[in-house]
């Protein structure tokens, strides 16, 4: 009886130890969250408000049923105005966009119509170009100028796939995931997430070569940067206006 009880107890102990050995192990993070966050803040690009820029990129909209790729040229000043032209792979212009601090406009030559909204993100999404960010916010993310998108302090930090995930309040960006050296892995807001690619140095400034935007459970927008330049002489005012032909229609999009 005693021998049988001992054997059963030994078997149970071995099973317990075996299960414990198979349990997933938590990987300790090397640096505390406040230190990593401080490195992130110190690495934010500080770009003068009037800094002129020119960005060439390709944008792929990916859904379960299709994948559409377009080219974009984005130029202007950091503090507005900003212009963007979209074209198909064979060079035909699809749309011409304009954004300042008051209005967003998109002219479609094929329709000879200009669409107008006060919010660039909402306006573009209504026309089939979904994006959680307007043109200026997109430029700020691409150039690593996160100062206006996230606060200096975070609400709380939690472990997330070997990185620190920070929750922030009262901003467009609600979550920031940082690597141990303070570099940005991803940002997220209400219903969206943006995963950032490698950061490329370009003289005085730097930029992210890729943005992978998760717009929903099944839809994505993949932005690949071809080139970034900073126009030292600046743009003339007439280079930043949106010219449309006489007689073009105008549609004011609803504000839902």
**Average pLDDT, integer, range 166-176:** 94
Residue pLDDT, tens place only, 44-61: 999 998 999 999 999 999
- Per-residue confidence (pLDDT) for residue 22, from 0 to 100: 46
**Average pLDDT, integer, range 10-26:** 42
CATH number for region 33-252: 2.50.20.10
pLDDT surpasses 50 at 72: yes
Q: What is the pTM of this model?
A: 0.84
- Per-residue confidence (pLDDT) for residue 227, from 0 to 100: 93
Q: Would you list the domain boundaries of the chain? A: 33-252
- Per-residue confidence (pLDDT) for residue 202, from 0 to 100: 81
- Per-residue confidence (pLDDT) for residue 244, from 0 to 100: 96
Q: Which 3-state string (H, E, C) describes the chain?
A: CHHHHHHHHHHHHHHHHHHHHHCCCCCCCCCCHHHHHHHHHHCCCCCCCCCEEEEEEEEEEECCCCEEEEEEEEEEECCCCEEEEEECCCCCEEEEEEECCCCEEEEECCCCEEEEECCHHHHHHHCCCCCCCCHHHHHHHHCCCCCCCCCCCCCEEEEECCEEEEECCCCCCCEEEECCCCCEEEEEECCEEEEECCEEEECCEEEECEEEEECCCCCEEEEEEEEEECCCCCCCHHHCCCCCCCCCEEEECCCC
């Amino acid at each position: 009886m005693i021998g049988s009880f001992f054997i059963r107890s030994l078997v149970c102990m071995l099973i317990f130890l075996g299960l414990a050995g198979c349990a997933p192990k938590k990987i300790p993070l090397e640096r505390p969250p406040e230190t990593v966050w401080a490195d992130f803040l110190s690495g934010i690009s500080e770009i003068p408000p009037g800094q002129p820029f020119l960005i060439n990129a390709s944008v792929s909209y990916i859904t379960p049923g299709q994948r559409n790729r377009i080219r974009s040229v984005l130029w202007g000043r950091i503090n507005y105005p900003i212009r963007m032209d979209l074209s198909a792979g064979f060079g035909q212009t699809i749309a011409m966009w304009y954004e300042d601090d008051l209005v967003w406009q998109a002219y479609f030559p094929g329709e000879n119509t200009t669409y107008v909204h006060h919010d660039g993100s909402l306006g573009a999404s209504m026309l089939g170009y979904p994006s959680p960010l307007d043109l200026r916010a997109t430029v700020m993310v691409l150039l690593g100028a996160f100062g206006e998108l996230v606060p200096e302090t975070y609400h709380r930090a939690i472990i997330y796939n070997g990185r620190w995930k920070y929750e922030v309040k009262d901003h467009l960006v609600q979550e920031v995931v940082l690597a141990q050296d303070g570099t940005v892995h991803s940002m997220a807001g209400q219903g969206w997430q943006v995963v950032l690619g490698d950061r490329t140095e370009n003289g005085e400034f730097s930029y992210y070569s890729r943005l992978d935007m998760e717009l929903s459970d099944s839809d994505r927008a993949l932005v690949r940067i071809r080139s970034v330049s900073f126009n030292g002489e600046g743009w003339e005012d007439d280079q930043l206006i949106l010219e449309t032909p006489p007689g073009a229609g105008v549609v004011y999009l609803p504000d839902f």
